[in-house]
Amino acid sequence: MIDLFRNLAFTAAEATAAANNTGTAPAAGEVDASVGWLGMLGPLLSLLLMFGLMYFIMIRPQRKKEKQTKAMLDALKKGDRICTIGGIYGTIAGIKDDTVTLYVGADKTTMVVARWAIRSVEDVSVENEGELLN
């Protein structure tokens, strides 16, 4: 790809020399000042392509996942069945700023965890909790 742009630069230099009626192209190491930017076009395009791919492969999906997680944490409410990042399942008893109080286990032990420590909201409702989880 880079060779293609180099060939275009030298072809443009030859065209410039022909237009000037000199009949000679610049020497092998010399490039006319008007076509010097064409020689840098190949590396510049490959660099832009690399940044574009990094954005679409790494940065954009990560931002999308962060948005989904933030929306899930903002939508928490009392009675939701959740799983923490430590693997603890519980039911939300109350929410205060950045802390969440959970009921855990059959005897409804109270536990306080940070809001950011909640991994997911489970599909099991509170009404079905006694039948399925205990």
pLDDT of residue 134: 42
SS3 labels along the chain: CHHHHHHHHHHHHHHHHHHCCCCCCCCCCCCCHHHHHHHHHHHHHHHHHHHHHHHHHHHHHHHHHHHHHHHHHHCCCCCCEEEECCCCEEEEEEEECCEEEEEECCCCEEEEEEHHHEEEECCCCCCCHHHHCC
pLDDT of residue 38: 78
pLDDT of residue 34: 54
Q: Where in the chain is the domain with CATH 2.30.30.30?
A: 76-132
pLDDT in tens, 44-80: 999 999 999 999 999 999 999 999 999 999 999 999 9
Give the pLDDT mean for 117-125: 86
pLDDT of residue 30: 57
For 76-132, the fitting CATH number among 3.40.50.970, 2.30.30.30, 3.40.718.10, 2.40.128.640 is 2.30.30.30
* Stated pTM of the model: 0.57
Give percent of the chain above pLDDT 90.
56
Lowest mean pLDDT among 33-42, 54-63, 108-117, 124-133: 124-133
- Which backbone phi and psi does 126 adopt, to 5 degrees? -65, -35
